[in-house]
Amino acid sequence: MYTSVDTLIVGIPTIRPHKLSVTTMQVQTLVLVKITTEDGLVGWGEATTIGGLNYAAESPESVKANVEHYFAPLLLQDKSDNVAQTLKQVNKAINGNRFAKCAVQTALLDIQAQRLGVPLSELLGGRLRNSLPVLWTLASGDTDKDIAEAQKMIAAKRHNTFKLKIGSNPWQQDVEHVIAIKQALGKDVSVRVDVNRAWSEMECIHGIQALQDGGIDLVEQPCAIENTDALRRLTERFDVAIMADEALTGPYSAYRVAKNHGAHVFAVKIAQSGGLLEAKEVATVAKLAGIDLYGGTMLEGPIGTIASAHTFATFENLAFGTELFGPLLLTEEILTEPLQYRDFELHLPTAPGLGVVVDENKIDALRHQ
């Protein structure tokens, strides 16, 4: 019933350099998976990461190779039209590869939702909201440019909450940069930081204390991925919300962190979770443990972003909003109609499946492989 599985690597320059502790991005490399069926349906999924292997354990090239060599043969020989069974088979046959699994699952659920004539969110339990608050990440590396960028976003009613990427400078210098931005934007604008695991526990203690005193609302993944004990100690120590991001690699890791209340907030990401269904499981684990939720991104383009939005729209509680701004960081549009960002929110489509139309001519012009 599945007749083809294609994996496309598409490079799109960013609107400005995007500086994280692990890399500086000038281009985002999208990995798109397109699955077609015998009866003419087409499903799309995305497995984009950040900076090749700088951020996570799967690269665009590994996703493409693994989808082509391992996932595609499984799907092409699958004669059932039972998506749950197909996904079970994929998970049984393939170890790890969460990003690739997420892209394949997204495309299969896109097809299934189109077949049933419902938006993808309906397959995930149903939509509790039609739009999601979206923050903007300031990551130019320059304090004055960041302040000007934030003020422009507020005036345009695009974003009123900001996340700053820090961790590539000595902590004192980074904290100074953050506090200067917070002071310029004022008390009504929420400012958060993402350290992307750059600090030792001692640097965390000093840095987070200064950030808390400076009115920062949230500190994301300050310490090493594996050091979940330190994350728990920081959660116990500080009132400012401590969020687990890279430490969450699917439902089991979420359970291990939640068991000890090792974070105040979880950044749920569909790719890191290994799929939309697994992201829902991460959210349920958080709910049961009294941990708040935030809708995260791997800086995906519009396909991964809207798949995330369908998932996050079903979460009961989304106390810290989302960061689903990935498409706005790109200089090229790959949908025939761009995603709808207005009044500080991303508005979900109502058409069946993902509810977006991919501009395949545009993708052909941009693709590397």
User: Is position 196 an interface residue for ligand MUC (rule: CB under 6 A)?
Assistant: yes
Please name every residue paired with 347 in a beta bridge, in sequence order, or none if there are none: 131, 340
By CB under 6 A, name the one of 299, 313, 318, 346 that touches ligand MUC.
Answer: 299
Structure tokens at 57: 């354990």
Q: Is 165 a residue of the active site?
A: yes
User: Is position 46 an interface residue for ligand MUC (rule: CB under 6 A)?
Assistant: no
| Sign of CA pseudo-dihedral 224, 227, 228, 232 | negative
CA distances for 169 relative to 16, 26, 57, 173, angstroms = 20, 19, 24, 6
By CB under 6 A, name the one of 45, 207, 296, 327 that touches ligand MUC.
Answer: 296
From 65-73, 272-280, 291-299, 309-317, give the range in contact with ligand MUC by CB under 6 A.
Answer: 291-299
Partner touching 345 among ligand MUC, Mg ion, none, CB below 5 to 8 Å by kind: none
| Pairing mode, strands 42-46 and 24-37 | antiparallel
In the region spanning residues 73 to 112, those forming contacts with ligand MUC, defined by CB under 6 A, are: none
Structure tokens at 120: 């993808």
Residue type at 140?
A: S
Q: Which residue is nearest to Mg ion (CB)?
A: 245
The number of C-alpha atoms within 13 Å of 264 and in the hemisphere containing its C-beta is 16
In the region spanning residues 126 to 145, those forming contacts with ligand MUC, defined by CB under 6 A, are: 137, 139
By CB under 5 A, name the one of 46, 149, 194, 345 that touches Mg ion.
Answer: 194
User: Per-residue contact track with ligand MUC, 154 to 193, x per CB under 6 A?
Assistant: -----------x----------------------------
Residue type at 166?
A: I
For the chain, counts of helices (H) and of strands (E): 14, 13
Please name every residue paired with 220 in a beta bridge, in sequence order, or none if there are none: 194, 243
User: Is position 323 an interface residue for Mg ion (rule: CB under 5 A)?
Assistant: no
Structure tokens at 190: 């929420």
From 61-69, 79-87, 181-189, 294-302, give the range in contact with ligand MUC by CB under 6 A.
Answer: 294-302
By CB under 5 A, name the one of 245, 281, 323, 345 that touches Mg ion.
Answer: 245
CB atoms within 10 A of CB 89: 16
What residues line the site for Mg ion (CB under 5 A)? 194, 220, 245
The set of catalytic residues is 165
What residues line the site for ligand MUC (CB under 6 A)? 20, 50, 137, 139, 165, 194, 196, 245, 296-297, 299, 323
